[in-house]
A and B are shown apart, each in its own frame.
Chain A
């Protein structure tokens, strides 16, 4: 079993999906959380000057989505066939786009922020969640009938957007997505992590 070291800031943000998947796969890893001041010194030594980073087998991988896909494969959550894998990929991209939109709004000046926040909350997010709801099964899985990285990505991104003070519609409106969230939370490794993980503001 290669040793795995995962580095991100001390928060959930776009780094959390990987911690949750490592937990789902029962994979041991070093959960390194950097303070901003420490990061400044390390930045230029990383592949793209960004976090998170995954170090495994002497290789460093950056880009949280790419890390997520690698962990998903190792943890058996990537989908069985090429097409299943493509479906998992597309859901992960879609779920992540929700977080990306919210994060972009966060850094805007106040006046623009309010307008964009309203648009996300009232139009863009409900539309995307509606599409995603149709893509999930009644049993609460995006692909096949077992947990994949797609389900995990939906849950973690939804949760993270909430932390950015964006008022997303409740999952009660999206019965299939609600089941997806329940399935994710019920996975033993994930349930344990959700209970034990450090509490952070984002």
Chain B
């Protein structure tokens, strides 16, 4: 039985979906949260100078998606066939484009006026059309891949709650029946429901 140690900042951020996956699969892991001087000392020891990292079986894996995929495979949530796995991957990548790329101005734009402009464009155009797109990719049963929970669904939940709802509160999914079902399927997974109740409260 391998031991897992996940290290990230004191936050949900881009590591949270890994924590949700551990919870969904009932996998024990050490949930390490670092900051400041601790992080500075750890940084050169990491594969690419970034967090999160996952230590398992003497290996140190970085890159949140690589970590997520490893855990998802372990708990049988990576898709049943190679093509299902590719579909789960593509949903995850698409979500990262939406949140990581198109929403990055939230964290990097220093000019308040420009930020407000970009936020307006994001909320009025970019987000709705992305959600329409993801709505088409999700099934009526509320799954992105096949007919059971995969890490693609968990990623959607984590990014939507952690980034969209967190920074731009609003009823963004009111017209998206399938996506609402995805959110419900994820939050009602027993392991995940327990984690959502018990996880540390962090600002971000």
Task: Say yes or no for A85: interface residue by CB 8 A criterion.
Answer: yes
Residues facing B in A29-70 (CB within 8 A) are 47-49, 54, 56-57, 59, 61-63, 65-67, 69-70
The verdict on A171 contacting chain B, using a C-beta distance below 8 Å, is: no
**What chain A residues lie within 8 Å of B63 (beta carbons)?**
89-90, 93-94
Residue of B with least CB distance to A67: B86
Partner of B86, one of A61, A83, A132: A61
**A186 vs B137: C-alpha distance when bound (angstroms):** 40
Output the least CB separation between A180 and chain B (Å): 15
Partner of A89, one of B56, B65, B83, B90: B65
Contacts of A57 in B (CB 8 A): 83
Whether A74 and B82, one on each chain, are in contact in the complex, defined by CB atoms closer than 8 angstroms, is yes
CA distance A85 to B67 in the complex (A): 10
Interface majority SS (helix, strand, loop, mixed), chain A: helix
Chain B: residues with Cβ within 8 Å of the partner, total of 30
Decide if B93 is an interface residue (CB 8 Å cutoff): yes
Q: Do A66 and B89 touch (CB < 8 A)?
A: yes
Within 8 A of B (CB), among A53-108: 54, 56-57, 59, 61-63, 65-67, 69-70, 73-74, 82-83, 85-87, 89-90, 93-94
Is B65 within 8 A of A93, CB to CB? yes
- Is A128 in contact with chain B by the CB < 8 A criterion? yes
Please indicate the chain B residues that have their CB under 8 angstroms from the CB of A128 in the complex: 48-49
Beta-carbon contact of B62 and A90 below 8 Å: yes
Range of interface residues on A (Cβ < 8 Å): 20 to 34
When C-beta atoms are compared, the residue in chain A nearest to B46 turns out to be A131
Nearest-neighbor residue (CB-CB) of A54 within chain B:
B86
B47 touches A135 (CB 8 A): yes
Question: What is the distance, in angstroms, from A127's C-beta to the closest C-beta of chain B?
Answer: 7
A39 to chain B, nearest CB (A): 17
Is A83 in contact with B133, judged by CB distance below 8 angstroms?
no
Q: From residue 49 to 71 of chain B, which have CB atoms closer than 8 A to chain A?
A: 49, 54, 56-57, 59, 61-63, 65-67, 69-70
Contact yes or no, A63 B93, CB < 8 A:
yes
Pick 6 A–B contacts, CB within 8 A, sort by A. A54-B86, A61-B83, A69-B86, A70-B86, A93-B65, A94-B48
Residue positions of A touching B, CB distance < 8 A: 47-49, 54, 56-57, 59, 61-63, 65-67, 69-70, 73-74, 82-83, 85-87, 89-90, 93-94, 127-128, 131-132, 135
